């Protein structure tokens, strides 16, 4: 109930859909993992790759981003919302955090995504991006329509990993820019 009430503050910039049939919210995930599936270490990224950061910024700009509380507090976010995006952070304790116009806290990611899909919750655009970390990827994967999973060449030390997704998603395109392979998958 609390999350629902809080969410009301977030829907200031609504797109009004005339009918439910018109409403086609896409849930997409974006991540960068290495050849050992590592995505993070000590609540930070294991690498600093400007091409990958630019790719992330380009794809998510103007849309909504959903992330776990640890990712929100991780480097490089450092508990700041990403600009030009509606930021939604998942935590079991949303009451501990201060909401802002572009920053909201919720406690049930699955209920939230299902309501976005059904049109019960409206967002500023028709794309919602799950941006990590491991826990959020793992829980929300069954609801993704697409995934942009960059493969970072090599192996890195890490303590956060990307879950297996290859059985349920198929590769539709890829582009290589050293040391990254930008890969776009769609649900099978
Ligand atoms: N390479 C990449 O593309 C990429 C992308 C994003 C993140 N990362 C890395 O991934 C690491 C963080 O990942 P992580 O898995 O440790 O943490 P995370 O998924 O970012 O956050 C976990 C937190 O989210 C909240 N949460 C998760 N599921 C929940 C649920 N069902 N209900 C309520 N709250 C829930 C909890 O917060 P509370 O404890 O507050 O309840 C939980 O402790 C960092 O190293 C980060 O740098 C990498």
pLDDT above 60 (res 19): no
H helices within 12-96, ranges in order? 50-60, 69-73
> Does 50 have pLDDT greater than 60?
yes
Mean pLDDT (whole number) for 15-23 = 49
Confidence category of residue 16, pLDDT binned at 50, 70, 90: very low
48 has pLDDT over 60: yes
What CATH number matches the domain at 2-9+25-187, 1.25.40.10, 3.40.430.10, 3.40.50.970, 3.60.150.10? 3.40.430.10
Best CA proximity match to 6, nearest among 139, 120, 111, 100? 100
> Is pLDDT above 50 for 57?
yes
Q: Tens digit of pLDDT for each residue in 69-126?
A: 999 999 888 999 999 999 999 999 999 999 988 999 999 999 999 999 998 998 999 9
- Ligand 1 binding pocket includes 122 (Cβ within 6 Å): no
Cβ–ligand 1 contact at 180 (below 6 Å): no
Burial 44-76 (b: 16+ CB within 10 A, else e): ebbbebeebeebbeebbeebbbbbbbbbbebee
More confident residue, 24 or 103: 103
90 touches ligand 1 (CB under 6 Å): yes
pTM, entire model? 0.92
Residue 9 scores a pLDDT above 60: no
Mean pLDDT of the chain: 90
First to last CA, the chain: 35
The minimum-distance atom of ligand 1 relative to the CA of 92 is: 41
Edge-to-edge strands, sheet with 64-68: 103-106, 86-90, 64-68, 127-130, 26-34, 146-152, 180-187, 169-177
Does any ligand 1 atom lie closer than 6 A to the CB of residue 60?
no
């Amino acid at each position: 109930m609390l999350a629902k009430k809080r969410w009301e503050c977030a829907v200031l910039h609504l797109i009004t859909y005339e009918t439910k049939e018109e409403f086609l919210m896409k849930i997409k995930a974006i991540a960068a993992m290495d050849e050992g599936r590592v995505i993070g270490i000590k609540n930070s990224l294991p690498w600093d790759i400007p091409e990958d950061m630019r790719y992330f910024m380009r794809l998510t700009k103007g849309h909504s981003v959903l992330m776990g509380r640890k990712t929100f507090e991780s480097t490089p976010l450092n508990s700041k919302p990403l600009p030009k995006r509606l930021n939604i952070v998942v935590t079991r304790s949303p009451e501990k955090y201060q909401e802002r116009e572009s920053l909201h806290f919720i406690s049930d990611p699955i209920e939230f995504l299902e309501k976005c899909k059904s049109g019960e919750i409206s967002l500023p655009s028709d794309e919602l991006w799950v941006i990590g970390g491991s826990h959020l990827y793992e829980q929300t994967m069954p609801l993704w329509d697409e995934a942009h999973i960059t493969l970072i060449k090599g192996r890195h030390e890490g303590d956060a990993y990307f879950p297996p997704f290859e059985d349920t998603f198929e590769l539709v395109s890829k582009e290589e820019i050293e040391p990254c392979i930008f890969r776009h998958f769609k649900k099978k």
